[in-house]
Amino acid sequence: MEYFDAFLPIGRTNSADRSSPTDTDAALAVMDRFGVSEALVYHTVARDSDPELGNAQLANVKHRRLHKIWAFDPAYVIPESPEKYLRRALKENIRAILVNPLTRNVRLDHSPRILELAHLLEKRRIPLLTVHRQWCCAEDSIDWYRLADFCNRFPMLPVVAWEFRSRSNRPMFDALATTKNLFISLSSVWQAQMLETVCKTFGPRLVFSLGLPTLDPTSFIGVISYAPLKTKDKLAVAYKNMADMIKEARHE
């Protein structure tokens, strides 16, 4: 079975698993070790603190198996418009955009720059990865109702959500029930029978990730392999969902 890691980090961060990669060679090595064919890669600095500084660290990442992600800074005072930012990103062969609303308590549904960027991404069907990561809270950091409203505002925009752990899953179920374009990282739902529950109720609206930098990368391949699901659903989660999003996006 092929795997496509939708959230593979490059760079150091606190509490990282020892196998989490810090450069291109290490990223490819960990992919080879766990049978991951392709990955979306971002830099931890871009996710956690400074998007532009982290984005710049990906300049030398050039490999057919690695699809680069840039993070976006929603600060309204930034002179560069979202349109110019996206144009610059596409010139650098960026395949998806990452936003971490929790670095500065930004709301996706009220940020003028994020809303403008989402409109531009929707036209091109370029995936938006909403990575909810903050240093002080690890679990249940997504407001699923606001995220669902955001997704429905841009119904043709693929939105992929990540948080360290979704323990309170009832709001997540409501978000999946009221949207069509929301996908969730498998590495965020590490509870028994969650994969099959989501797939049987909402369809295979999950994407695979090894769970790095923080989780043990051996955790989620077994979850897919042993789940009591149809093969086509396993393949969708493991590889096809994310691969199709990248393939169907208009990057030119």
Q: How confident is the model at residue 140 (pLDDT cuts 50, 70, 90)?
A: confident
pTM confidence score: 0.96
- Residues β-bridged to residue 97: 70, 128
Alpha-carbon distance of 108 to 111, in angstroms, equals 6
Residue 201 has pLDDT above 70, yes or no: yes
Residue 44, exposed/middle/buried by CB under 10 A (0-12, 13-18, 19+)? buried
d(CA 82, CA 115): 9
Instruction: Output the pLDDT for position 15.
Output: 85
How confident is the model over 204-241, as pLDDT tens digits?
Answer: 999 999 999 999 999 999 999 999 999 999 999 999 99
Q: How many CA atoms lie within 13 A of 61 on its CB side?
A: 31
Cα–Cα distance, 42 to 54 (Å, whole number): 8
Domain that holds residue 129: 3-248
| Tens-place pLDDT, residues 173-194 | 999 999 999 999 999 998 899 9
Looking at the structure of the chain, the number of domains it has is 1
Give yes or no for residue 196 having a pLDDT over 90.
yes
Separation CA 22–CA 55 (nearest Å): 14
The C-alpha R_g of the chain, in whole angstroms, comes to: 17
Local confidence band at 197 (pLDDT 50, 70, 90 cut-offs): very high
- pLDDT tier at 41 (50, 70, 90 boundaries)? very high
Helix, strand or coil, per DSSP, at residue 148: helix
Q: What is the DSSP string of 164-212?
A: SB---HHHHHHHHHT-SSEEEEGGG--STTHHHHHHHHH-S-EE----T
In CATH, what number is assigned to the domain containing residue 186? 3.20.20.140
- Determine the pLDDT at residue 137: 65
More confident residue, 138 or 90: 90
The CB density around residue 17, as the number of other CB atoms within 10 Å, is: 15
Can you tell me whether residue 98 is helix, strand or coil? strand
The torsion angles phi and psi of 63, rounded to 5 degrees, stand at -150, 140
**What pLDDT is attached to residue 136?**
63
User: Which pair of structure tokens corresponds to residue 120?
Assistant: 């531009």
- Model confidence at 30, pLDDT cuts 50, 70, 90, reads very high
Peptide bond into 21 cis (omega under 30): no
Give the pLDDT confidence of 100-134 residue by residue, as tens digits. Answer: 998 888 999 999 999 999 999 999 999 999 999 87
Length of the chain: 252
As a whole-number percent, the residues of the chain with pLDDT over 70 amount to: 99
The reported pLDDT for the residue numbered 211 is 96
Which CA distances in Å does 128 have to 35, 75, 236?
Answer: 25, 17, 19
Confidence (pLDDT) at 14: 86
Model confidence at 168, pLDDT cuts 50, 70, 90, reads confident
